[in-house]
Structure 1
């Protein structure tokens, strides 16, 4: 087989050029990669057929040291990344090359991912780790690791199941190793609160089987606890305010009075009713006085609720008494058509107390 036939059937790109770098041979592989036939390439300058980006064929071949070079060929119709070896010939040069665009792109992506991963590990409150199928650490790094006083990769070769067995997560880790994704929330470890994602991956013996991402949520937990404490304080304060707003006073044996001040709506009236009925039951009071002197306006729903409260007091064996009804409230009650014939109503609290004392003496 002739030399020309060998070059034509070679699996690599093979190009020959004379001393002036004019193309003299162009094999089939070169035609397939660059989309240019031999009849079109032969006789033209190498730099014209395959123009380089940021380099020149003359300088590269003049300083050739026998090592392969990765070059970018950029034409108007397309571009390629090729790895090239050169061989000196008596009357020129022979180039061997292959397309490495996919490899270079993959290397660039890998380098970018490595840069991103390093930035994440060094700047965010995370730890990244991986174990094999037995739960033995293969990798361990990240800012959380450093903040915990642990050297990067310090636990590599050690069993996660043994190191953290006291945390109580071993059943969860074992399920994750078996292929079930999992997550733990605000688990306390190394003096911090940590959220951890357990991500199963496919792998053979000794290869990564479980990938972990651990987030330091200590600050978020602190804020959460602080907010919970504030909410509890607010709730306690609201309870105190409710008690102060509707105090129940035992002014005499068996006589309760509840002075109501401010605006009252249906919701507040329900609270008042619950508190008053409970107090009547606990003290076994015979009289319960609702003093409305400090209330100027109620809606029809609230007025109905007040009347029901008086009836409920009666069902407990006590007498409900209304005092200090404002004219507008009286109009609302009348508008409802409520019969107050059997309800003791007084203008002043003093009159209501006198009524209770008279009734108590008769009893």
Structure 2
């Protein structure tokens, strides 16, 4: 509390004023109030002259800080022709004003989010009864704000089967559900427990419409699966295994072959030999121009693997560059049947069949 004379000078300054403004009574009394307690804008005289019975909040500069003082004014008429005096009563409401400003800012931000993004914000009590629900994503599907307030989340969304998730969140464990199909769209939802709230809120939910992203993801996943199926068909077509005669298989290989593809070829060919009990397996390399040293080594290993299964591995159509690679490896092909053309290899197999020959055993 402080008291002013008709000219606006301080004539009384209580202990609480000393504590709030950091100015002793001796330093305040006799001075103009605007000098003792400067306002951030305006003057005390204008505020006092226009003051009523209702308290007002005035902003006071105190060094680098600003204080919010809620004050009200009492005008005491003068006696015996003495001028009126003004008594100002107030208290420091800086913390309250700052809290109100933060709340206003948060409210503005919240409104901007729910009005402009495809999101719904909602809250329930401990029984799952909706206390609040609003957001653009609701209106996008024809719902009204607060449409479900008073209804129970467990009863409304029982068909989704997420009752346990909601119950766990209300009990204090945060939850999340991804791309749940609901009302014809897909939604991601965060279930946020609220503990110690002064109101009935126990669960806050943030639901985001992710329909476009989910449909795009599903479309891309379908395309990837189609591409994988097509690649599998291409792999099969690129290395077909043909039974050209009784006990004679041929595998024409076309295109670039690397170590990974060679491993697939070996696996397919060995399985086919086992299933058909073939006595001869012809690898036709006419459509292959280049192989690396690792691939050439795998081809030779494939020939040895065929021999272990009781079949003769035959190479045909070797390109000159492949022949150079094999030579560079120092591979001994003296025990491997090699022919320039597939036709010559087939003749070899037919002669062996007529003669009742069997391929030599390993070792």
> Given the two structures, how large is their TM-score scaled by the length of structure 1?
0.91
Let me know the Cα RMSD of the aligned residues.
Answer: 1.9
Q: 1:162 aligns with which of 151, 155, 158?
A: 155
Structure 2 Cα separation of the partners of residues 39 and 155 of structure 1: 63
Structure-2 change in CA distance of 1:236 and 1:66 (3 Å): same
Structure 1 match to 2:71: 84
User: Does structure 1 retain, via aligned residues, the 8 Å contact 2:21–2:62?
Assistant: no
Structure 2 gaps of 5+ residues are 79-83, 357-363
Q: 2:25 aligns with which of 38, 44, 55?
A: 38
Spell out the pairing of 1:255-294 with structure 2 (5 A cutoff): 255-294=248-287
SS in 1 for 2:304: helix
The structural deviation recorded for 1:203 is 4.3
The structural deviation recorded for 1:253 is 3.2
User: Does structure 2 retain, via aligned residues, the 8 Å contact 1:320–1:344?
Assistant: yes
Q: Does 1:153 align with 2:140?
A: no
Structure-2 change in CA distance of 1:172 and 1:306 (3 Å): same
**Deviation >6 Å, runs of 4+:** none
Structure 1 Cα separation of the partners of residues 42 and 198 of structure 2: 47
Structure 1 match to 2:297: 304
User: Does structure 1 retain, via aligned residues, the 8 Å contact 2:11–2:29?
Assistant: yes
Q: 1:124 aligns with which of 95, 107, 117?
A: 117
Structure 2 Cα separation of the partners of residues 78 and 283 of structure 1: 92
User: Does structure 2 retain, via aligned residues, the 8 Å contact 1:21–1:92?
Assistant: no
User: Does structure 1 retain, via aligned residues, the 8 Å contact 2:270–2:306?
Assistant: yes
SS in 2 for 1:341: coil
Q: Does 1:178 align with 2:168?
A: no
Structure 2 Cα separation of the partners of residues 194 and 75 of structure 1: 51
SS in 1 for 2:173: coil
Q: Does 1:193 align with 2:225?
A: no
Structure 1 Cα separation of the partners of residues 149 and 220 of structure 2: 39
Structure 1 gaps of 5+ residues are 1-13
The structural deviation recorded for 1:250 is 2.8
Structure 1 match to 2:14: 27
Q: How many matched pairs?
A: 350
Structure-2 change in CA distance of 1:50 and 1:119 (3 Å): same
Spell out the pairing of 1:47-62 with structure 2 (5 A cutoff): 47-62=34-49
Q: Does 1:94 align with 2:81?
A: no
Deviates more, 1:280-289 or 1:118-127: 280-289
Structure 2 Cα separation of the partners of residues 250 and 35 of structure 1: 104
> Given the two structures, how large is their TM-score scaled by the length of structure 2?
0.91
